[in-house]
Homo-oligomer: A and B are copies of this chain.
């Protein structure tokens, strides 16, 4: 593993200076290699899937693990799409001249080496590897044991693409082991070789990474996202945003888990919103007010307010205005994504300014919490930490900067 780190560091030095055209050529060659390896990938994946089935893993897990010809083609297309995204490296972020004539530029540069620890989805190998590479970073991928065979074949194809474009294969490397210790080694930073870790997987993985990592981590443990329906909300819009925020896809981190309804307009909003959710197949767990409004509402426990269901279940509470809504979010939320529905501009601005989450929305669904929806192109994840990357982590968030100072002989008095 330490050798992996050294090779990555060396490759990162070359990759940091690689021209955009070379990186894009590598991405296209990688896509081609994936297509050409499709049969080999399927064989490896079938071995992974049958091993997983013999372990009695959940159907949803098996589904995430399974690759089909269509999914392999989507992976190749994803690589080509990353080639189309603008290269963040080298951009001048700001530039100014000092009174002594020195010109200072803040210029975007790659971070260096990014470690990705992931679980079942083999396509993360291609997505994450390619995003790191396009942003000028070397990637070290540590795949979960269940998808190891599939990921290995995919990583080989990626390395073929790198090689074809004249870039070091070590720009994207896979850890050769799935031992639990190898995660620990990654989290220790491989002797200073890893600059940042991105975990991709379930809550247990992310919790371990956050607890043990000795290097910075871009991650979110959970998305306990809220929709607050203000008294000044358009009831029809509120119903639609609540329904979409919860039910469009229940398994994504940006799905809403708690609906807060302003008491001042509860008469207007409470029943229709509950009915809409239940009609759509959502279980509603509410406070006494919600239960009084609809007998089908189950009783919410204290634990419900901080639970990320990732399922067709929602908690629902009546609150005394925006202040109470914000206090609830501060207490139970996960600083991920929270929305207000209101036609009152001042109340909306208060919510946008005061709720301390990576993403705050006014009159829009929480399901927009996604790098693609932000216009970032592909994303490697969503971060709820406050430093460096916050919210969707796309190509730009995988870079840092340096200061270039141009003088004409200035010395400091």
Contact = CB atoms under 8 A, between A and B. Distances in A.
Interface in A354-374: 354, 356-365, 367-368, 373-374
Contact-residue size bin, chain A (C-beta under 8 Å from the other chain): 35 or more
Contact of A13 (B237, B243, B330, B401): B330
A293 interface: no
A406 B342 CA distance: 11
A330 B241 CA distance: 53
A367 B412 contact: yes
Interface in A383-413: 386-388, 390-391, 400-412
A234 interface: yes
B244 A359 contact: no
Interface stretch (A37-45, A96-104, A270-278): A96-104
Given A96-B375, A360-B403, A244 B365 contact: no
8 contacts: A102-B368, A196-B387, A362-B406, A365-B411, A368-B412, A373-B412, A388-B388, A390-B401
Contacts of A112: 386
A400 to B, nearest CB: 5
A167 interface: no
A207 interface: no
Copy total for this chain: 2
A109 B390 CA distance: 12
B402 A391 contact: yes
A354 B102 CA distance: 20
Nearest to A412: B367
B391 A403 contact: yes
Given A244-B412, A360-B403, 19 more contacts: A13-B330, A17-B354, A102-B368, A104-B374, A195-B387, A196-B387, A352-B404, A353-B404, A356-B402, A358-B402, A361-B404, A362-B406, A364-B408, A365-B412, A367-B411, A368-B410, A390-B401, A390-B402, A391-B403
A74 B109 CA distance: 38
Specify which of A244, A363, A402 lies most central, judged by the most chain B CB atoms within 10 Å of its CB. A402
B388 A357 contact: no
Contacts of A16: 356
Given A216-B387, A374-B104, A363 B241 contact: no
A386 B234 CA distance: 46
A306 to B, nearest CB: 15
A217 to B, nearest CB: 10
Interface string A30-72: 0000000000000000000000000000000000000000000
A240 interface: yes
Contact of A409 (B104, B237, B386): B237
Question: Chain A binding site: helix, strand, loop or mixed by DSSP?
Answer: mixed
Given A244-B411, A405-B362, A409-B363, A390 B386 contact: no
Contacts of A104: 374-375
Interface string A236-267: 01001101110010000000000000000000
Contacts of A96: 375
A410 B363 contact: yes
A313 to B, nearest CB: 20
A238 to B, nearest CB: 9
Interface string A110-135: 01100000000000000000000000
8 A-B pairs with the lowest CB-CB distances in the bound complex, closest first: A364-B407, A244-B411, A367-B412, A388-B388, A361-B405, A387-B388, A237-B409, A363-B407
A283 B104 CA distance: 32
Contacts of A387: 111, 195-196, 216, 387-388, 400
Contact of A373 (B98, B348, B406): B98
Contacts of A402: 356-360, 390-391
